[in-house]
Structure 1
Amino acid sequence: MTTSFTEQLSKINASTENRNRMRDFVLQHPEVLKDLITFGTDLNNKNHHKGVWIIEMLAEHQTELLFPFADKICETISKYKNDSAIRGMSRVAYFLGTTKSIKLTEFQHEKLVEICLDWLIRDERVACKVYAMKTLQHFGKKEPWIADELKDIVSRDYASQSAGYKAAAREVLGKRR
């Protein structure tokens, strides 16, 4: 790994300015992308969530840059424990799953469906659940069993969830207030 890059990554905080600076650095120096993925998927690294912040931003703005690393991301995505990393990876899953610029392999697709279903069932934060819903809703357009499973889970959990969850659930269920 490029030591100065990973040192900088370890030292950033969650400010938008820092995250944007690191994202822009990666975009200007694509040779560090592999180091970023390694950093963000190394769950033994106490700062891996900081790598996820940048991976998430890349997924949002240039998803296709992550395609060479999609297998690594999909292999690791279900193992995250840090709330900040899980939230970021839920957005990465959404962008990977819904972009038209890349085609997921069967393995990648299965891993994303599996983790999104897990996030909905587990006691995760609302943002993570909302991105899982959106990702599964997209997949459910082509695979009715996913749409059925999503509706079952969301309908069952609706009453006990937060306002943010309920707003996303209404969208998924096609209901108006």
Structure 2
Amino acid sequence: MTTDALYQELNYVNHSREKRLYYAHLLLANTNLIPKILDIMFMVDDKISPRAAWVLEFMCKENLEALIPYLDTFTENMGRVHLDSAERPVAKICEYIAIAYYVKTPSKLKEALLPKHREKIIEACFDWLITDAKVAAKAYSMNTLFLFGKDYDWVHPELITILQRDFASQSAAFKARAKQIFHKARK
């Protein structure tokens, strides 16, 4: 399938779990489509870009290791994503990566995720946290930053400072996640 054909297919993707899962399985069955979905996702001003992000998020939930060959592309470009409906799934993928990196069992992701990838993820997550991104992207970013803060001394203090500064002016969902982070940070 060409990039143009995949782009056309994404017109059929909606918020339903069924559609996103169908196309995620299509990617996993045809891994040559993964760089094409990334190309479409990084057409950051295009209305189809978020749909590509939704599908990629579901693919990563099913099999995060399928993203490993494309970590450079993903981490180099994810900070360019700016449409609200695309930021949330990209932030969720970052959270999947952080969780997978810190599980106790060995994994291919742990070997493949280089400091440059982690630093790009940290940078993007802080950007989502301090900008007017929607609360879901901020919540996923908080968790990702907390996890990566285990290896980067400066991340936890910066994260806590931002959460304390913004706490009073944010939504109930933001406050709930921030309280979880405060609780974890005290341990």
2: CA distance between counterparts of 1:136 and 1:44?
A: 26
Find the counterpart in structure 2 of residue 21 from structure 1: 22
Contact 1:97–1:112 (8 Å) recurs in 2: no
Find the counterpart in structure 2 of residue 5 from structure 1: 6
1: CA distance between counterparts of 2:127 and 2:44?
A: 19
Aligned-residue CA RMSD (Å): 1.8
Question: What does 1:109-148 correspond to in 2, within 5 Å?
Answer: 109-148=118-157
- Kindly provide the CA deviation profile for residues 91-148 of structure 1, in whole angstroms up to 9, marking residues without a partner as x: 1111122313313222211111111111111111110110000000101122221111
Scaled by the length of structure 1, the TM-score of the pair is 0.91
Amino acid at match of 1:80: V
Find the counterpart in structure 1 of residue 76 from structure 2: 75
Give % identity. Answer: 32
Amino acid at match of 1:90: A
**Which of 115, 118, 131 in structure 2 is aligned with 1:106?**
115
**Quick one: structure 1 residues 45 and 125, their matched pair in 2 at CA, closer, same or farther if it must change by over 3 Å?**
closer
Secondary structure of the residue aligned to 2:133 is coil
Structure 2 residue runs of 5 or longer lacking an equivalent are 102-106
Contact 1:137–1:172 (8 Å) recurs in 2: yes
Moved more, 96-105 or 161-170: 96-105
Q: CA deviation at 1:72?
A: 1.0
Structure 1 residue runs of 5 or longer lacking an equivalent are none
2: CA distance between counterparts of 1:40 and 1:10?
A: 13
- Kindly provide the CA deviation profile for residues 33-92 of structure 1, in whole angstroms up to 9, marking residues without a partner as x: 222222222225431111111111122221111011111111111111211001111111
2: CA distance between counterparts of 1:22 and 1:65?
A: 14
How many residue pairs match? The answer is 176
Moved more, 84-93 or 33-42: 33-42
Scaled by the length of structure 2, the TM-score of the pair is 0.86
Find the counterpart in structure 2 of residue 56 from structure 1: 57
Find the counterpart in structure 1 of residue 43 from structure 2: 42
Runs ≥4 residues deviating over 4 A: none
1: CA distance between counterparts of 2:44 and 2:92?
A: 18
- Kindly provide the CA deviation profile for residues 149-172 of structure 1, in whole angstroms up to 9, marking residues without a partner as x: 111111111111111111111110
